[in-house]
Amino acid sequence: MLQHHKFDSLGGADHGWLNAKHHFSFASYHDPKKMSFGELLVINDDRIAPHTGFDTHPHRDMEIITYVRRGAITHKDSRGNKGRTTAGNVQVMSAGTGIMHSEYNHEDEEANIFQIWIMPRSKGIEPSWDTAEFPREPVGDTLPLLVSGDGSAPLQINQDARIFAGTLAKGDRLKHAITGQAYLLVSEGKVTVNGKAATKGDGVAMSGESHANLAADSDAEILIIEVPGKQRAR
């Protein structure tokens, strides 16, 4: 089953310095039909004005992944981690027993990010943060694995989840095998997903699908987030 969530139908709020669109209920936006997707709780499509950002704030027992689509984001946390993540690259944070952090756009241009929250597999782990750079060339017939919980990806999280991402050239086609259930994000361009056309900013939830058959209708960038069904962190 596919559910197509068009960008224009997403909830959200414009705070001036932050223009946010929410794929699921978040903060003041509440839709009882869009509370989560298995262990995937949050996908925010955030546009952050230059020289602004999220002041220091706490998190606990949450896996937080930030995919930078445009510009750059600078992270600083209470564990001494610091880093600047640029467009096309990813940072991950396991909040575990508790961590304070800030995320700022120190650049002269607007930043655009996907921020993704996934429930952890286990509570009370040691907090951690990491970032990695990824190639920007078209992927061909295989999407690179960026994030996982089993040691098979450059970035690790505390959950049996996987995040794939890559750039497709117009006309490219690929067949991606799905483990569990998957939520596809169109970061740029236009793609057809199992016969359904989707465009920049859209999300496509896929349940009970063994594969995502993708066709790039233009040059495009996509993410596929695979998560298990809802379970309680131990």
Mean pLDDT of the region 175-191: 97
* Average pLDDT of the chain, as a whole number: 95
Domain ranges of the chain: 2-227
Residue 134: pLDDT above 90?
no
Please, which pLDDT band fits residue 17 given cuts at 50, 70 and 90? very high
pLDDT computed for residue 136 by the predictor: 79
For 56-103, write each residue's pLDDT tens digit.
999 999 999 999 999 999 999 999 999 999 999 999 999 999 999 999
Percent of the chain at pLDDT above 90?
A: 91
Residue 233: pLDDT above 90?
no
- State the Cα–Cα distance between residues 93 and 113, nearest whole angstrom: 15
For 2-227, CATH gives: 2.60.120.10
pLDDT computed for residue 138 by the predictor: 85
Phi-psi region of 12 (alpha: psi -120 to 50; beta: other; left: phi over 0): left
**CA dihedral angle for residue 203, residue 207, residue 213, residue 214, rounded to 10 degrees:** 10
pLDDT computed for residue 232 by the predictor: 61
Contact assessment for residue 106 and residue 68, using Cβ atoms and an 8 Å cutoff: no
Contact assessment for residue 79 and residue 126, using Cβ atoms and an 8 Å cutoff: no
Percent of the chain at pLDDT above 70?
A: 99
